[in-house]
Amino acid sequence: MKEAFIKLHVSIILAGATGIFGKLITLNEGLLVWYRMMFATLLFSIILYFKKELHKIAFGDTLKIGGVGLLLGFHWVFFYGSIKASNVSIGVVCFSLTGFFTAFLEPLIYRRRISIREILFSLLTLFGIILIFHFDTRYRLGICLGAISSALAALFTITNKKIGSNHATSTLLLYEMAGGFIGLSCLLPLYLNYFPVPTILPDLSDFINLLLLASICTIGLYILQIQVLKTISAFTVNLSYNLEPVYSILLAMLLFNEAKELNISFYIGLSIIILSVILQTGSVFIKDSTTKRKTV
């Protein structure tokens, strides 16, 4: 159990580090995500081939999963665009809006009633973001891109859950990475036409960071999650991942000294967002405990 919890927090740190690579890699957000999905697809295909877990699926399912993978690619493009337009802290704080968009989109897609409790917690998060947006005008573009990224993340999570029940997780991830890479490859010429760059090839530093991002923070993160879920409940894992933005901000402060770039409005807004996460976590915990008592 101790080893499982260590792996859990290592995986959360790796998830938090994805934003750090957005700052380290000098390529624009479109090329960054394109290379990330390409390297992840190649490396994961090799791993699954040698593990004899490389499975074919029906063409119709391939298209659906690939489309969801492209949605993930769009989320990453806007996420890294947010970081490059502002900083890591702003990018990961805006990611907290995922719950706000999920509270509206999930009932719409699954045709169920909207939870007033989820809406109230999400509005608290939104208030924190608005506070930062209103008082700190330097990062408005980054916040807008981050908000779009969060909406796409919410849509990805919901659609991924909807199509993923009939397939192994490893197969789902591989086809999503491949679908995202192929989809972005089709759109990249148009993207580069509007956002031209001197070169599409990464230098040595970017190449190494892209390999680390694709291998450790994408595939390695997935493998750790699978290992952890064999010992620790999904409920505990999901609650623990609320620490991801905190780890990202701490890493950004240590590596890039971002504390100097942030003013008091950021910390007030961040405190409100953390409060909403604590309240939501407590609510889920109480609900889960009540459900278990009723089933005993």
pLDDT in tens, the chain (296 residues): 678 888 888 888 898 899 999 999 999 999 999 999 999 999 999 999 998 888 888 889 999 999 999 999 999 999 999 999 988 988 888 887 887 788 788 888 877 787 777 777 777 777 877 777 766 677 889 989 999 999 998 898 888 877 876 778 888 889 999 999 999 999 999 999 999 999 899 999 999 999 999 999 999 988 887 788 777 766 566 666 767 777 888 888 888 887 777 778 778 877 887 787 777 667 666 765 665 555 55
Question: Which tokens in the block code for residue 292?
Answer: 């278990």
Contact between residue 43 and residue 217 where contact means Cβ atoms under 8 Å apart: no
Predicted confidence at residue 262, as pLDDT, reads: 72
DSSP 147-187: HHHHHHHHHHHHHHHHHGGGS-HHHHHHHHHHHHHHHHHHH
Residues 6+ apart with CB under 8 A from 81: 29, 145, 149
User: Residue 91, class by beta-carbon neighbours within 10 Å (0-12 exposed, 13-18 middle, 19+ buried)?
Assistant: buried
Measured N-to-C along each axis, helices 169-194 and 140-163 cross at an angle, to the nearest 10 degrees, of: 140
Predicted confidence at residue 285, as pLDDT, reads: 63
Task: Record the pTM.
Answer: 0.85
Predicted confidence at residue 182, as pLDDT, reads: 97
Contact between residue 66 and residue 179 where contact means Cβ atoms under 8 Å apart: yes
Predicted confidence at residue 2, as pLDDT, reads: 76
Taking the C-alpha atoms of residue 182 and residue 200, their distance in angstroms, rounded to an integer, is 17
User: How many H-runs (helices) and E-runs (strands) does the chain carry?
Assistant: 13, 0
